[in-house]
Structure 1
Amino acid sequence: MRLDLFLKLARIVKRRTQAKEMCDEGVVKVNGKKAKAAKEISENDVIEIDTISKYIKFKVVKVPSTKNVSKKESKELIEILEEKRKDLKNIIDLL
């Protein structure tokens, strides 16, 4: 399954286009390497997303076989390893 579609189905992002833009900007890594939206995701891959306001690192537990996943099922797709909210006040002060 494509990375951008997986991020949408796991409800990490709301829209697939948003996931693609994040990949294009280089904020998404799979197994420590920057990844394109079309990268094929498999079980046990570790995905990191580092945006200006949030950092999340999670492991792919299950790759869905369909393009429709319920909200309950989406929580079973990943295991969060690390999650941090960044303090925007410090970032604004740097600007």
Structure 2
Amino acid sequence: MRLDKFLKVSRLIKRRTLAKEVADQGRITINDKVGKASSVVKVGDELAIRFGQKVVTARIEMLKDAVKKEESTMMYTILKEERLEKVDPEFIDDED
């Protein structure tokens, strides 16, 4: 299944066009490799999705072309959620 379709069907991202944009910006990795919207995902793959200052890591548990809203969370398991720290520009050393 394509990455953008999985994200929409699983409701990790609500719209397929938004999933495509996020993937094309390089904000999604599949098993530690940058994924494109057209990348093929399979059961067992780990996705890391960057939402602003947060990274959500999920494992794909099942693939289906369509599921009810209540069943969509069964398609993946959230492994971890972590906040990214903002870098204060005052502390960046430009004299390298």
User: When the two structures are superposed, what TM-score results if normalisation uses the length of structure 2?
Assistant: 0.83
Cα distance per residue 1:4-44 (max 9 Å; x no partner): 01001111111101010111100000000001101111000
Deviations 1:66-92 (A, max 9, x none): 2x21112101000100013457xx56x
Runs of 4+ in structure 1 deviating by more than 6 angstroms, as ranges, are none
Task: Give the secondary-structure state (helix, strand or coil) at the position aligned to 1:19.
Answer: helix
Runs of 5+ unmatched residues, structure 2: 91-96
- Cα distance in 1 between the residues matched to 2:52 and 2:73: 24
Please say if 1:55 is aligned against 2:52. no
Q: Please tell me the residue identity of whatever aligns with 1:37.
A: A
> Within 5 Å, which residues of 2 pair with 1:1-80?
1-64=1-64, 66=65, 68-80=66-78
The CA distance in 2 between the partners of 1:28 and 1:57, in whole Å, is: 10
Equivalent-residue separation in structure 2 for 1:33 and 1:86 (angstroms): 19
Identity %: 37
The structure number with the bigger radius of gyration is 2
Question: TM-score by structure 1 length?
Answer: 0.84
Equivalent pairs, count: 90
Consecutive unaligned residues in structure 1, runs of 5 or more: none
